[in-house]
């Protein structure tokens, strides 16, 4: 294409794009145009993926952003994701994510440049575009647009760890799409943006063992959640203190128990640090509040993305520099264990301290070593060599599956074992 025509084409794209910084609400068509237009402007830093289809036939768009190779997984580069609008009538998170996309791609801020150089950031502005189209401007509290077109609450629709019956016997198309996505990409950190309250919800969303609502990674969750809430605390002025839920970090089950949440599913089955951000007391506030919400949340959203750089990452290889299938890592006795990717990679978000890293092959411990996490946002980078003589003998033993709960150290998962195998055999979106 001649240079002059290329310049004219790029100018047309810029002039016709849907700009998130005008701080107005966007419908599904406008969201679609925005994502594709901005990816066309920044093709070296952004790629749009169609994760799946909704009940109404709409695409679940996710944009992947990185300073290099946004279209594929890169060895040891952490993958993180933000999702908005899971409930179609909770729209503030959607608009913040559109603004965040543009900010990440256009800002020359040193922190942003460093962030996209060190990670690949996935953003799905709306997980429920069908519900979005049914929601109502200015509606703070009703359920109009909350559900899918076949009346499913997506945050009650993910497989329960122990196989407890869900509210709906139907698995939504949207749920299936997200399950395939998170089974294919080794996400280290994830946040899901909701509205209707002003709290940060952390695992667990249900009581699995007695009244146990606290996960093994509660120290990490508390630091991340309280840091975010502290940064945006002034937004509580838009809440009704008498009637709205306003607080800091809360274990989901202690707030109100639900079964089938997305955050528990991602955490228990893949070890992803998953958080649910309730950031607006009104679900669909007036447009004049979008700019204040963005101004307050922007730095907190960036800071949270950086947390994927905490802790330890590395490779588990044999003496021939080959990945070892069916390998997992555990830090101390923290559950869940983390599946090593087909490339031999692992990540674990940790606070500074001294830990014991254990390596399991087919459920049998084959290696352990002490590790020291010193710096807050610089990961300890390890390459651990496991000689074949240490793990091959276990190839002839029955596979042991390590439970996510310490009280039952070895058991069969109620969730289909094929999902765990999927996480070991896929690591990039095609």
- For the stretch 366-407, pLDDT in tens is 999 999 999 778 899 999 999 999 999 999 999 998 989 864
Domain ranges in the chain are 28-309, 312-394
d(CA 331, CA 335): 8
Average pLDDT by stretches of 10, the chain with 430 residues: 43 42 91 98 98 98 98 98 98 98 97 97 98 96 96 98 95 98 98 96 95 94 95 87 84 96 98 97 96 96 96 98 97 96 98 97 97 89 98 95 67 34 35
- Sign of the dihedral through C-alpha 17, 22, 28, 29: negative
Residues noted as catalytic: 278
Q: What is the pLDDT of residue 5?
A: 42
Q: What is the pLDDT of residue 406?
A: 66
Are 52 and 43 contacting, i.e. CB atoms less than 8 angstroms apart? no
Q: Identify the CATH assignment for 28-309 out of 1.10.3720.10, 3.40.630.10, 2.60.120.10, 3.40.50.150.
A: 3.40.630.10
d(CA 325, CA 426): 12
d(CA 78, CA 141): 37
Q: What is the pLDDT of residue 428?
A: 33
The reply to whether the predicted model has a pTM over 0.75 is yes
Q: What is the pLDDT of residue 21?
A: 65
d(CA 405, CA 400): 14
Q: What is the pLDDT of residue 93?
A: 98
Q: What is the pLDDT of residue 368?
A: 97
One fold for both 28-309 and 312-394? no
Contacts of 129 (CB under 8 A, 6+ apart): 28, 31, 54, 56, 58, 60, 85, 88
- For the stretch 315-353, pLDDT in tens is 999 999 999 999 999 999 999 999 999 999 999 999 999
312-394 CATH: 2.60.40.1120
Q: What is the pLDDT of residue 342?
A: 97
Give the pairing of strands 345-348 and 120-124. unpaired
């Amino acid at each position: 294409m001649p240079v002059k025509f290329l310049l004219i084409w790029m100018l047309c794209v810029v002039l016709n794009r849907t700009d998130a910084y005008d701080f107005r609400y966007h419908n599904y068509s406008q969201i679609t145009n925005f994502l594709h237009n901005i990816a066309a402007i920044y093709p070296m830093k952004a790629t749009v993926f169609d994760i799946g289809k909704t009940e109404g036939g709409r695409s679940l768009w996710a944009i992947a952003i990185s300073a290099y190779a946004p279209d594929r997984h890169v060895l040891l580069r952490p993958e993180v994701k933000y999702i908005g609008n899971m409930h179609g009538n909770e729209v503030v998170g959607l608009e913040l994510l559109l603004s965040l996309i543009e900010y990440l791609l256009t800002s020359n801020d040193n922190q942003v440049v460093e962030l996209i150089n060190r990670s690949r950031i996935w953003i799905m502005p709306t997980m429920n575009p069908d519900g979005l189209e049914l929601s109502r401007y200015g509606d703070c509290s009703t359920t109009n647009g909350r559900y899918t077109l076949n009346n499913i609450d997506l945050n009650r629709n993910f497989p329960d760890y122990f196989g407890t019956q869900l509210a709906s016997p139907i698995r939504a198309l949207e749920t299936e799409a997200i399950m395939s996505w998170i089974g294919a990409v080794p996400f280290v950190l994830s946040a899901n943006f909701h509205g209707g309250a002003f709290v940060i919800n952390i695992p667990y969303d249900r009581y699995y063992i007695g009244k146990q609502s606290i996960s093994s990674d509660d120290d990490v969750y508390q630091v991340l959640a309280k840091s975010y809430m502290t940064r945006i605390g002034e937004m509580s002025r838009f809440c009704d203190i008498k009637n709205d839920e306003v607080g800091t970090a809360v274990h989901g089950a202690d707030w109100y128990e639900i079964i089938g949440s997305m955050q528990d599913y991602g955490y228990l089955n893949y070890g992803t640090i998953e958080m649910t951000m309730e950031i607006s007391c009104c679900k669909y506030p007036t447009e004049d509040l979008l700019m204040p919400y963005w101004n307050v949340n922007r730095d907190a959203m960036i800071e949270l993305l950086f947390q994927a750089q905490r802790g330890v990452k590395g490779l588990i290889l044999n003496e021939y520099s080959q990945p070892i299938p069916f390998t997992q890592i555990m830090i101390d006795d923290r559950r869940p264990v983390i599946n090593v990717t087909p490339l031999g990679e692992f990540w674990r978000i940790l606070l500074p301290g001294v830990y014991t890293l254990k390596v399991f092959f087919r459920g049998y411990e084959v290696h352990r070593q002490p590790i020291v996490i010193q710096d807050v946002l610089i990961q300890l980078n390890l390459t651990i060599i496991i000689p074949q003589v240490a793990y091959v003998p276990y190839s002839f033993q029955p596979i042991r599956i390590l439970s996510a709960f310490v009280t039952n150290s070895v058991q069969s998962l109620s969730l289909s074992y094929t999902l765990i195998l999927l996480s070991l055999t896929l690591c990039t979106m095609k």
